[in-house]
């Protein structure tokens, strides 16, 4: 009796699995159970997914939530991550000259930023010189330098320091870009060598 029950249960399970493989549509019912069928759900508001001839599911009517989430990059193996990186690198740049052009563009933007920051630094230096000169004139006249003038000098010195730090940060970014593009060119050349006959 038990053997017969197991045989029936196994047969039913195999039929369900076969139906799942052949089914062209799937959706979840109100209780969260997956429904597989050859036709889409009768309710036009029911989100569902459709399988193509390759077995790839695409979702309709807002059923994107029925698809499994995309793979987490952290769970990909190192080889898979490298393969994706290499594919993107080859798609992004048509040749080594394109990498040089992209590098030149990035460095040009950084140079504009550096020039603007240098201009600000020169402006702060000029302002500081004028403030100090004015304070010296007041002292030569045997008067006390107003507190507001001293605060302006301190504020301008702080702005100069901030601007000098910004210049150092721009230079660090420039060095990072040079290193980054050097690595891109090196890897691109390796991939070209691997693909050449």
Question: Are 99 and 145 in a shared domain?
Answer: yes
Tell me the residue range of the domain where 48 lies.
2-66
Q: Is residue 130 domain-resident?
A: yes
Total domains present in the chain: 2
- Is the Cβ–Cβ distance between 95 and 116 less than 8 Å? no
What is the predicted pLDDT for the residue at 49? 77
pLDDT digits (tens, 9 = 90+) for 33-83: 777 788 888 877 777 777 766 556 667 655 545 555 555 666 667 888 888
Q: Do residues 90 and 50 both lie within one domain?
A: no
| pLDDT of 136 strictly over 50 | yes
> What pLDDT does residue 73 have?
63
pLDDT band at 6 (very low <50, low <70, confident <90, very high): very low
- Picking from 131, 123, 112, the residue whose alpha carbon sits closest to that of residue 159 is 123
Q: Are residues 179 and 85 in the same domain?
A: yes
Alpha-carbon Rg for the chain, nearest whole angstrom, is 34
Structure tokens belonging to residue 64? 């994107």
Same domain, 60 and 146: no
Is residue 72, in this structure, part of any structural domain at all?
A: no
Residue 97 and residue 190 in one domain: yes
Residue 104 clears pLDDT 80, i.e. is over it: yes
Residues 6+ away with beta carbon under 8 Å from 123: none
Reply yes or no on whether the pLDDT at 181 is more than 50.
yes
Question: Among the three residues 66, 87, 104, which one is the final residue of a domain in this structure?
Answer: 66
Contacts of residues 161-164 at CB distance under 8 Å and 24 or more positions apart, as own/partner, are 163/117, 163/120, 163/121, 163/124, 164/121
Position 69 scores a pLDDT of: 54
Q: Residue 155's pLDDT is what?
A: 94
């Amino acid at each position: 009796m038990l053997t017969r029950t197991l045989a029936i249960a196994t047969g039913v399970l195999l039929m369900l699995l076969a139906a799942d493989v052949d089914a062209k549509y799937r959706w979840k019912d109100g209780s969260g159970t997956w429904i597989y069928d050859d036709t889409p759900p009768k309710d036009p508001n029911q989100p569902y997914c459709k399988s193509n001839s390759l077995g790839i599911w695409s979702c309709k009517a807002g059923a994107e939530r029925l698809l499994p989430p995309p793979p987490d990059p952290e769970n990909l193996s190192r080889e898979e991550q490298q393969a994706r990186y290499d594919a993107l690198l080859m798609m992004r740049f048509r040749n080594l000259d394109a990498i040089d052009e992209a590098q030149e563009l990035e460095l040009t933007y950084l140079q504009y930023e550096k020039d603007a920051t240098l201009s600000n630094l020169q402006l702060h230096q000029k302002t500081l010189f004028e403030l100090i000169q004015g304070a010296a004139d007041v002292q030569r006249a045997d008067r006390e330098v107003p507190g507001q003038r001293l605060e302006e000098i301190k504020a301008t010195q702080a702005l100069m320091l901030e601007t000098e730090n910004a210049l150092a940060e721009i230079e660090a970014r420039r060095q990072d870009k040079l290193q980054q593009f050097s690595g891109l060119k090196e890897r691109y050349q390796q991939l070209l060598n691997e693909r050449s006959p």
